[in-house]
Amino acid sequence: MDQILLITLNGLTLAGVYFLVASGLTLIFGLMRVITMAHGTSYLLGGYVGYVIARDTGNWFLGVLGAAIVIGLVGLFIHQVLIRRFQDDDMRVALITLGVSLIGTDLMLATFGGTATQVPIDPELQVASVSLPIVGSYPVLRLLVLLIAVVIGFALALMISRTRFGSVVRAGVDDSPMTGATGINVRVVFAIVFVVGSALAAIAGVIGGTLFPLLPGQDGVYLLYSLVVVIVGGMGSIPGAAIGAVLVGLVSQFGIVYAPTYALVLTFALMVVVLAIRPQGLLGRTV
C-alpha cells in the first residue's frame, strides 16, 4: 500500500509538470486553434534561461519569473512577426513553428552543450522532506511543484470562465470577425494568450529542469506529452488539461514501476482509448 501511494504521489507531481506545459498548449492550440510546433522549445529554452538566472543570482524563484518573462517575449515575437499573417493557415503555421523549433534546438545545443544540466535551487529545499501518513518521508520540492500547478490551474480556469478577458478570448475563437466588430482588438487578445501560453511552458521548463536534468531533445518529448494531455483532456479546456495530465502522469509512473518495457505504450494506449470512447476528449466540446 505504501508503494502504491508513493507511486501515486510521484505521478501527481509529474502530472503537475505536464499540466503546466499542456495548459500553455491548450491556450494556444485548444483555444486559438494555432498549431505551434515550437511549444516544446519554449519549455526547454525556459529551463535553460531559468538555469542561468538561478545560477547567477542564487534565487530559484527569480529564475522562474525571469524565464516566464523572457520566453513570453519570445512567444510574442513568434506570434507577431512570424505567424500572425498566416494564423488561419494551419500548414504554414505548423511549418514555420517547426522551423523555429529546429533552429532553437540547434542554438541551445551549441550554447549549452549536450550534457545534462539541472536548475539549481536552495540546497535546504532540495533535500527537505516532510513525513506523510503511510508514505513516510517525501520531498518538499515535489509537493511545492504540485502546489504551484494547482494554484496556476485554478487561476487559469477562473480567468477563462469568470473574467471579461476570458469571455473575449472565447468569443474571438468562436467568431473573430463579429468580436472585432464590437471594437475589441482580437489580434491583441490573441497575442496576450500566446504570451501567457509561452510563459507557462517556460515555468514548466524551470520546474521540470529542477526535478529532472535538462537535456537536448526534451523539447520534442514534452511537446508530445503535452499534445497527449490536451487530446485526452479536450482541446481548450483547462480542467480537461488537468485531468489529462493526472491520467498521463499516473499511467506513466505506474507503467515505469510495474511494466517498464510497455510504459510508453500504455501512455499512448490511454489516448487511443479516450479517443475511441470520446473523440473530443474528456471535457472537450462537441464541434
For residues 165-184, one letter each, b for 16 or more C-beta atoms within 10 angstroms of the residue's C-beta and e for the rest, the string is ebebbebbbeebeebeeeee
Distance CA 6, CA 42 (A): 30
Q: Would you kindly state where each structural domain of the chain is located, as residue ranges?
A: 20-215
- pLDDT at position 286: 60
Which pLDDT score, from 0 to 100, does residue 26 have?
A: 86
Residue 160: its pLDDT value, please?
Answer: 84
Is-contact 110 42, C-beta < 8 A?
A: no
pLDDT at 31: 67
pLDDT in tens, 98-123: 999 999 999 999 888 888 889 998 88
- Residues in the chain with pLDDT values less than 50: none
